Amino acid sequence: MPTDSDPSREHTFGSPLDLFSTLEGLNIQYLDVNETRALVIYQTAILNLKVLKGDLSAARRIELEVYEEPREDFSTEPEQKEDSVVDSLLDQLTSGNH
């Protein structure tokens, strides 16, 4: 589970994004917890996705937090590994929004 030192990153989309459709379209597994939160399994990492503005079907602003680091070694430093997976997921989400 996350601690106060766990990294998180906020992102604002240019227009509302249907995260359900986007994640499904990208074949990314997730578990919706409620209308503003989902756990996402991406590149063997588990991320907490929280919608700060809108909801999962029309998200304007989100926060991503790494719950469990990816098993694959994206870099040698744990912080870089977490940043890599968050950056990669954000790239996927924003490219799916075009």
Beta strands in the chain (DSSP E): 8-17, 29-34, 37-42, 45-55, 58-68
Predicted local distance difference test score (pLDDT) of residue 91: 93
Higher pLDDT, 74 or 39: 39
Question: Would you say residue 81 has pLDDT above 90?
Answer: no
Predicted local distance difference test score (pLDDT) of residue 78: 53
Predicted local distance difference test score (pLDDT) of residue 1: 47
By DSSP bridging, strand 37-42 and strand 45-55 are antiparallel
At 3, the pLDDT band (50, 70, 90 cuts) reads very low
